[in-house]
Structure 1
Amino acid sequence: MNQELIDLAVERGRLLERISMQRQLLEQQLQPVGDTLHSVDRALAAVRKGRDYLGQHPEVVTAAVAILVVLKPSRLWRWTKRGFLAWRTWRMLRRELFALGLSPRP
């Protein structure tokens, strides 16, 4: 009976060592993914900070639009169309991600 317990303890030790090695290997292999995700998180934080700033200071948006209208109305129209297309694409992408269960809200 004691030999069986010893064998089980030895096997458990081997398995724990194997798990530890697999975790280390996985950590090394996922390092580039983690670095990329960290960069994306920083970029998203910057975008959110800018969005919050513009939400608190709508006069900045108004001034920018006024300047665009005065300088080049045709450019304003072109950028408005591009912005609308980007907004529609973003909404569609959010709906698809929600449908796939990858986003908390549509």
Structure 2
Amino acid sequence: MNPELVELALRKQRLQIRSAEQRDALAYHAQAFTPLLHGIDRVSDGVRWARDNAPVLSGLGVFLLVVRPRATLRWARRAWVGWQLVRRVRALIP
């Protein structure tokens, strides 16, 4: 067998072993981010649910506006400020 091919095969095998070790190390270190990623998933699921159920949320908003107008307007103002903050942060992120 050609010695160059043997050397290439050995180099390939060493690189594969090294890649496997790096993947294992990355997976081990990424475990620290698991709670954060689960939280992001929950927020994402909540936003998706809100988009899918917009008529229900609108009806609830109108009901609360009739029953408790002052509290509803206070929460609406907070939501508006939060929405504006999200838009500004999105504009900053490329």
TM-score, normalised via structure 2 length: 0.74
CA spacing shift, 1:60–1:42, aligned 2, 3 Å? same
Higher relative CO (Cα under 8 Å, sequence separation at least 6) belongs to 2
Task: Output the amino acid matched with 1:50.
Answer: A
For residue 30 of structure 1, give the secondary structure of its aligned residue in structure 2: helix
> Of residues 83, 89, 94 in structure 2, which corresponds to 1:93?
89
Tell me the distance in 2 between the aligned counterparts of 1:80 and 1:35. 30
Count of matched residue positions in the alignment of Structure 1 and Structure 2: 93
Q: 1:34 offset after TM fit, Å?
A: 4.4
1:72-96 CA distance string (max 9 Å, x none): x3x4454343232212112212222
2:5 aligned residue:
5
Tell me the distance in 1 between the aligned counterparts of 2:8 and 2:51. 59
Tell me the distance in 2 between the aligned counterparts of 1:87 and 1:43. 15
Q: Structure 1 residue 68 and structure 2 residue 64: aligned?
A: no
1:43-100 CA distance string (max 9 Å, x none): 22123213432x222322100111222xxx3x44543432322121122122222xx1
TM-score, normalised via structure 1 length: 0.68
